[in-house]
Chain A
Amino acid sequence: MTDFDVIVVGGGPAGCIAAYESAKAGLKTIILEKDRDIGYPVRCAEAIGEDGLRKFMETDPQWVAATIKYAQLHSPEGTAIRLDLPIENGLILHRRLFDFALAQRAAEAGSEVQTKAYVDGLIISDDQVKGVNYQYFGEKRSLTAKIVIGADGVESRVGRMAGLRTALKLSDTGSGYQVSVANVDVEQDVIDFYFGSKLAPSGYLWIFPKGEGMANIGLGVVGKGVKDVLAKDLLDKFLADRFPKAAVLTAVAGGIPLAKTLKKISTNGLMLIGDAARMANPVSGGGIISGMVAGRIAGQVAAEAIRTGDLSEKGLKAFPARWHKEVGRDYAIAHRISNSIRDVTDDQFNKMARELKDLPPEKLHIRKVFATAAKHKPKILLDITRAFAHL
């Protein structure tokens, strides 16, 4: 018999939810996390919609650094457009605490957890994934399982070990850098987005409040532009210009997958979820909730496959089907939009912002922003209209 029913590689939000679902279904489950800690380092701006979270659990106020009501967009020449969030509440999390809570929940449902457990190979025989090889505090070990779930983040290699094509295209990659700063005066119910070829070529810069006097300030540069600029240099310059008194308490680099979901996210005995499967929102880069959605589906499908005894790709076919139905299809549309937005020039951004600025506030909502964007870039009109049926 196998050592475990389900092995989850990676203890991020996607992996923790998958392990929770699997353990809850009575399966012998383990999470293997390469780092010393679950939930740390935090390579994330920590924003989620409370409506998305509520599908999993009630919000614990301990995780919440700030509650957001408005999004403010800044054009390259400095026009600011303030919008009500299209969702009920935006939250800025303390992901360190949040990820911990997710792992705790998985553990309480019966899952084991090992940190300092780096997976460096898969056990494959008869074309079926049957377990993992890993280093636990550097010591070589292996474990067998009926199903392996790869939740190993943007840096995922588990898919590649099984022959899946997971390499991100440069045009679908955000090269990100973020600092968490103290001693800044930012509104605590607003998230700010700055656009422009000088600040963040083909990407954007964000300021998310993180409690009084604190903020996450970061940026992502997308696509070929990364050849000529460095995310860290751009952010350092912005900080020096706008927040010269800010003290940097945390600095992280991070890669943001802005791609369509991988063509193939499962094979015999293996499913890939979260950033590992390129399941983040290709417009915003947000991947916490979508990773959790995939984790839930994968955990449930693993339980069903083990119950029926069909561990082949065919036995797991409900996994890609449900993912694409619940999220993937919408994100494929979002991917097209994301490509169009990247081509918008500074001039076009400025023009749009000036036009929106003149509208009375009650007429200003996200829909209007997109309508204006569509006017200036008619070829994305169709995509945007379609996206609104879904996003």
Chain B
Amino acid sequence: MIHVKDNKCDFCGTCVAVCPVDAIELREADIRIIHETCIDCDICVWVCPIDVLESQDAQVSND
């Protein structure tokens, strides 16, 4: 599951551009991962220029 770190995003849209399944919604100053659509490919995590996104083990975050 992709987690968005708090107060770090610059809303540049690079992650949106590469997401293969259109699972990121980006407004002026608001970013959301659409978890139902996300396929956990992690491309957005790699491409973010400032390390805003992280891939978390779903099990752990559901605890």
Contacts and interface: CB of A to CB of B under 8 A. Distances in A.
B47 A255 contact: yes
Interface in A225-254: 226-227, 230-232, 251-254
Interface in A242-298: 251-255, 257
B27 A257 contact: no
Contacts of B14: 154-155, 173, 175-176, 253-255
B55 to A, nearest CB: 12
Interface residues of B, number: 21
Contact of B18 (A153, A173, A176): A173
Interface in B1-56: 10, 12-14, 16-20, 22, 25-28, 43, 46-51
Given A118-B27, A252-B10, A175 B19 contact: no
Q: Is the interface of A mostly helix, strand, loop or mixed?
A: mixed
Given A154-B13, A155-B13, A155-B17, A231 B28 contact: no
B48 to A, nearest CB: 7
B47 A173 contact: yes
Contact of A168 (B17, B48, B50, B51): B17
Contacts of B18: 167-170, 173, 255
A123 to B, nearest CB: 18
A195 B14 CA distance: 22
Nearest to A232: B50
A251 B28 CA distance: 16
A226 B28 CA distance: 25
A254 B49 contact: yes
A135 B30 CA distance: 13
Nearest to A275: B17
A230 B5 CA distance: 15
- By CB atoms of chain B within 10 A, which of A116, A167, A170, A253 has the most? A253
B34 to A, nearest CB: 12
Nearest to B51: A230
Contacts of B47: 170, 173, 175, 226, 255
Contacts of A135: 27
Contacts of B48: 175, 253
A368 interface: no
A200 to B, nearest CB: 12
A253 B28 contact: no
B59 to A, nearest CB: 24
A107 B49 CA distance: 35
B52 to A, nearest CB: 8
B39 to A, nearest CB: 12
B10 to A, nearest CB: 4
A116 B18 CA distance: 24
A377 interface: no
Contacts of A322: none
A226 B17 contact: no
Nearest to B50: A232
Interface string A80-112: 000000000000000000000000000000000
Given A226-B46, A227-B46, A255-B47, A153 B13 contact: yes
Contact of B43 (A35, A120, A160, A170): A170
Contacts of A257: 17
A160 B25 CA distance: 12
A19 B10 CA distance: 28
7 contacts: A35-B28, A168-B17, A226-B47, A231-B50, A253-B14, A253-B49, A257-B17
Report, nearest first, the 5 A-B pairs whose CB atoms are least far apart: A155-B13, A255-B14, A231-B49, A253-B12, A253-B49
Interface of B: 10, 12-14, 16-20, 22, 25-28, 43, 46-51
Given A167-B20, A168-B17, A254-B14, 5 more contacts: A160-B22, A167-B17, A177-B49, A253-B14, A255-B49
